[in-house]
Homo-oligomer: A and B are copies of this chain.
Amino acid sequence: MKNKIGFIGLGNMGIHMANNLIKAGYHLQVYNRTEAKILELDQASVTVCKTPAEAATGVPILISMLSQDEVLRESTVGAEGILKTFPANAVHISMSTISPDTAEKLAKLHQQHGSKYIASPVFGRPEAAEAKKLFICISGDKDAKEIATPVLENLGQRIVDFGDKVGGANVVKVAGNFMILASLEIMAEAFTLAEKNGLDRVQVAEFFGSTIFNAPIYQNYGKLIANKQYEPVGFKASLGYKDARLAVKLAQLSQTPMPAATLAHDRLLSAVAKGWGDRDWVEGVGRGVSEDAGV
């Protein structure tokens, strides 16, 4: 029988990841803020936990997939946090999209505690999480990465190691999210230019998505942007904005002027200011560009 694993965070992504671990034969000690969500998993393979500390009790590995730096920090060092019970030498695989410097701080706290923390953010949407098609970036302590790898193989199609500095994978994740957001902006501008010059946005999007820009980002998002199809909400503008802030913050801390990042940041900040925070981030960008152009 496989080891027990602690698991914290059953959001849109986490629920599929937990499910895949169960299918792979793991037993999970699960904590989720909304406990009812845990019932969606195979109950024979889970132990319902009331706190992060409970989920971390007696496991050699714990996976967390949370929405932001603050939540992860509280779940780790709070009064009922992971480090209250996490065993010596156990490995915390942190898969959330967070700031590299939060990762560095948490890794240090784990080290002082005698346990380990590695960064392991992912690229892919919920469908990819469900289909074990995520791209997983890892960084941090070598031994911990070795321990984590067989577990992560049940979650994604590829695992790429970005070195021993624990924040490395987080930098890649922040950079990638910036690239995606900026691509939305580019497409929205290009398609609006086409529209205002009498062309069919959708045909233009299909042309680029099937020729020089035939990558998933341009194909999938291109379709949504071209059709101004903003529902259902796949990823909230407020969360996209949070990621844009991570990029701007990282640019500040590492002294890297990124004008395209500040531009994209301002686009989503405006979306949030206009009250579109709960709508899809594609609407935040696409509708923003359209309205600026009077269409």
- Chain A residues within CB distance 8 Å of chain B: 100, 123, 135, 137, 158, 160, 162-163, 165, 167-168, 171-172, 174-176, 178-180, 182-183, 185-187, 189-194, 196-200, 203-204, 207-208, 211-218, 245, 247-248, 250-252, 254-263, 265-266, 269-270, 272-275, 289, 291-295
Contact = CB atoms under 8 A, between A and B. Distances in A.
A269 B257 contact: yes
A272 B255 CA distance: 7
Nearest to A268: B257
Contact of A212 (B215, B245, B258): B215
Given A203-B162, A293-B257, A189 B193 contact: no
Given A204-B172, A263-B260, A186 B182 contact: yes
- Nearest 6 Cβ contacts at the A-B interface: A215-B215, A273-B294, A255-B273, A262-B262, A196-B254, A175-B190
Given A256-B192, A265-B262, A274 B250 contact: no
A135 B211 contact: yes
Contacts of A207: 135, 137, 160, 172
Does more than half of chain A's interface fall in helix, strand or loop, or is it mixed?
A: helix
B273 A212 contact: no
A95 to B, nearest CB: 16
A256 B196 contact: yes
A185 to B, nearest CB: 5
Contact of A123 (B162, B191, B212, B261): B212
Contacts of A214: 215-216
Nearest to A275: B294
A250 B197 contact: yes
A263 B263 contact: yes
Contacts of A186: 178-179, 182-183, 186, 260
B270 A257 contact: yes
